[in-house]
Chains A and B, each alone.
Chain A
């Protein structure tokens, strides 16, 4: 059994990593840390795990976790991971970083998008961007993985086939909608039920940080420079993301050609589903039928009136948008079945 440690296990992502790993047939969780809740049963914070485990949060520091584990999930805030990681790298432990600190290849991008100078720029090139749909071969045997952002995942997975096929000619506009769990487990006045319930809140109209990841990966897959404009909304659900992206084309988009692009890239992907069913109960991707699963649902429609391709991506932000993607990447790192610990359908109805 591969021994896994989770540093910062009390948040929502940490809880989902725990839930998935406790049902994984090839790993054993040897440490789940939380300074705030050290000594408490994990089910006190993650009540869905009651009856599943009697594991308690530990106060282990990251180096202590590394001494016990073969691989460490770092589920700590942006800006903290990049301070911890250089020391962990020296121990030889494998790392899955759930923060944004090693997702971007260009160190200057951290100044631009995250407002800090990256303290370990030499390590950026050592991390694989943990999106199996784009980087499967690099993830096999990888030592260090940067797990993508949630909205980035929905946008990149849904747009990549068009980018790869050369159908992204100009800028891309990404309109993202996300549920409340995307804001994490720490409450604030704006996440208080009275303020949060019922909102369709534009919380980041421009310059969302995930823009940098989306551009980086669309550039990678297209081989050219793609510019992305993104607007993010908080909407009235707990889990889930829907990205609606707009790709303008110079000529009338052809449905058959777009289908070919999606089939060509994703026909053998274990966690990508085409949701484009004119007669379906859900005609296009909707997070409601992805919630609880590691699936990324993609779909599109063409608008010949203004020569536009509208692209949809729907995921569970905590699973395919975080913990599930991390576990899928871990499976590739260790040569496990890619679907191990993730082979379950979404919840319905939810």
Chain B
């Protein structure tokens, strides 16, 4: 299945056997999404939570 990244409009490939809670990422901008619902012929995604990185403090 393919879906579109809401950040960069890149094409995200979601496995046909994706399950709820699975993390998929956009190959272009790296934004990660969590599969929140699997429906017939499609999935619903939401941006996954991420931990920030700070090397300078």
Bound CA span A277–B50, Å? 13
Q: Give the residue name and chain of the A residue nearest to B29 (CB).
A: A276
Contact present for A278 and B9 (CB under 8 Å)? no
Q: Could you list 15 examples of A-B contacts with CB < 8 Å? A: A255-B7, A256-B7, A259-B7, A259-B9, A260-B9, A263-B8, A276-B8, A276-B29, A277-B28, A278-B29, A278-B31, A278-B32, A278-B50, A280-B30, A283-B30
Contact pick for A279, options B7, B8, B9, B30, CB 8 Å: B30
The distance in angstroms between the C-alpha atoms of A255 and B29, with both chains bound, is 11
B3 on the A face (CB < 8 A): no
6 nearest CB pairs, A to B:
A277-B30, A278-B30, A279-B30, A259-B8, A276-B29, A280-B30
Across-interface contacts of A277 in B (CB, < 8 A): 28-30
Q: Which residues in A have their C-beta under 8 angstroms from that of B25?
A: 279
19 extra A-B contacts, CB within 8 A, seeds A263-B8, A276-B28: A255-B7, A255-B8, A256-B6, A256-B7, A259-B9, A260-B9, A274-B28, A274-B29, A276-B8, A277-B28, A277-B29, A277-B30, A278-B29, A278-B30, A278-B32, A278-B50, A279-B25, A279-B32, A283-B30
Residue of A with least CB distance to B31: A278
- Chain A residues near B29 (CB, 8 Å)? 259, 274, 276-278
Q: Using a Cβ–Cβ cut-off of 8 Å, how many residues does chain A contribute to the interface with B?
A: 12
A278, chain B: closest CB distance, angstroms: 4
Number of chain B residues close to chain A: CB under 8 A: 11
Residue of B nearest to A260 (CB): B9
Query: Which residues of the partner chain B approach A263 to less than 8 Å between Cβ atoms?
Result: 8-9
Q: List, in ascending order, chain B residues with CB within 8 A of A280's CB.
A: 30
Residue-wise interface mask of A (251-275) relative to B, using a CB-CB cutoff of 8 A (1 in contact, 0 not): 0000110011001000000000010
Q: How far is the CB of B4 from chain A (nearest CB, A)?
A: 11
Provide the residues of chain B in CB contact with A276, threshold 8 Å. 8, 28-30
CB distance from B20 to the nearest CB of A (A): 21
Contacts of A259 in B (CB 8 A): 7-9, 29
Contact B28 A256 (CB under 8 A): no
Give Cα A165–Cα B30 distance, bound, in whole angstroms: 24
A259-B7 Cα distance, complex, nearest whole Å: 8
B48 to chain A, nearest CB (A): 10
- A residues in contact with B32, CB < 8 Å: 278-279
- A259 to B9 CA separation, bound complex (whole angstroms): 8
Interface string of B30-52 (1 = CB under 8 A from A): 11100000000000000000100
Interface residues of A in 221-263 (CB under 8 A from B): 255-256, 259-260, 263
Question: B51: shortest Cβ distance to chain A, in Å?
Answer: 11
Task: Give the residues in chain B near A278, CB-CB below 8 Å.
Answer: 29-32, 50
Shortest Cβ distance from B22 into chain A, in angstroms?
15
> Cβ of B6: which chain A residues have Cβ within 8 Å of it?
256
Docked Cα-Cα span, A263 to B50, in Å, equals 26
Closest to A263 in B: B9
Please, which residues of chain A bring their CB within 8 A of the CB of B7?
Answer: 255-256, 259
Q: Which chain B positions have C-beta within 8 A of A260?
A: 9
A256 touches B30 (CB 8 A): no
Which B1-24 residues sit within 8 Å CB-CB of chain A? 6-9
| Whole-angstrom CA separation of A274 from B9 in the bound complex | 13
Which positions 282-305 of chain A face chain B at CB distance < 8 Å? 283
Nearest-Cβ distance from residue A279 to partner chain B, whole angstroms? 4
